[in-house]
Structure 1
Amino acid sequence: QSFIHKTLAHKVQFFERQILYERTKRHPPVLDRKSYVELALLYSITDDELASVSSTLHNWGTILFYALDHLKDLIVIDPRWLIQLLSGIITTKHRYIRQGILEHSDLIHIWHPNDYPEHLHPKLLQILQRFEITFPLEKYNMDDEEEWKQGKSLVPSALPARPDIRVSQLFPRFESTTQYARMYQVAFVPPGFLNYLIIRVMEQLNDVHYWRNGVAGFSPQN
């Protein structure tokens, strides 16, 4: 068993060297599943071993690999390449993200086609969702290009710092009627909590107003 572990460790080391070499040849630095498997076979890495090898290289920061069905066909062999991908979304140098909303069809203007080919955009956006940089605002079919392009995503970091209206003005006031309100003030909010809350409120309520640190809306009338 010790011999088997040593043999696999050697395979990982040699395979990593090949990945580093592939970085210098490929632009953008990505492999599809078929090419990745063929490359692994050159080092006698079997299908049973490939998952473990990929997980190891992912943890080392050599590749970015997810075993999820919708992402397993895209292996990023230079994670540094994703830094520009992230900065292209959160930068203030463009005006394509309005009020925190990214229209998928605008990605061709944000990501340079030589660096980020258009056919990769759906999967790259899903990687951003894994990092919780963006959140889908609606369900769409990944295999339907036109449907995907019509979709929208929320970019919390691009939300305005303040609401576009005084929150107190959102709630109607009635004469001779007692109104009750409840306000919560907490010392700590888990990172990303408000992002999920905004998405859920936008799905359930009408006339939603949202900003970086809050959200308000009305329950739809039956």
Structure 2
Amino acid sequence: MLEVEQAPESPGIYAWYVRFQASPQDWETKPVDGQDASIEGFLGLLREYASYYEPLPITLRGSAPYGGRWDGVLELDHGVSRREFQLRAEDVDRRERERRERDRDALENTISSQTGRRLLAQFLARATPVFSSPLYIGVAENLNERLQRHRTSYNKAMEWLRTNPNDADRLRADARTFGQRAASRGIAMENLEAWVIDLKVLESNIDAKSLRESAQSAEWLLHRLFAPILGRQ
């Protein structure tokens, strides 16, 4: 997002991604009272990264007998923290419980060593965009102008949050633009990157209207296949 002026001034499709960022200060061992303080700090980075992909809560309502009503909210649990890994025996069957316990143990073993934290950080950093889901997919007549508008929207939302720090949840629920949605989740600008398909390079002999229609069709399909978490839903 820091370099969107480099985007081509031509029609195209684009997708925003968020890259996992960690430095040696995050994975190197920090002895404190006989414990490695980096373990909890690194787990905090994983929780934060997982939160970028959390969908908004889903409100469920239904009718019940005698005029009653079912009403509740579902929230996604990524299961990243140790507390979230804990399972009651009645929650899942034995095989599922054992599988989750193995996953929990593997994560704990990984982040309990400096080498494990470093490797995990490197794996996650390299996952974008090959293995990671896009946050947002869009189509534009001018990629350069559109991406700069996203950055302007992000900057305005961040400025608003600096003076209204307690309203992040409200912005997250009411955000109308990608910039507002990214800012409401606390994603740093330097961690956001856009990948583009320049349609003029792809097909230089097709008229602009046909390019636009094809791009819109691709965008429509990609939204339904990949369900970008910060897109219009």
Comparing both chains, which one has the higher relative contact order based on Cα–Cα distances under 8 Å and sequence gaps of 6 or more?
2
Q: Which has the higher helix share?
A: 2
What TM-score does the superposition give when structure 1 sets the normalisation length? 0.23
What TM-score does the superposition give when structure 2 sets the normalisation length? 0.22
Question: Greater Rg, structure 1 or structure 2?
Answer: 1
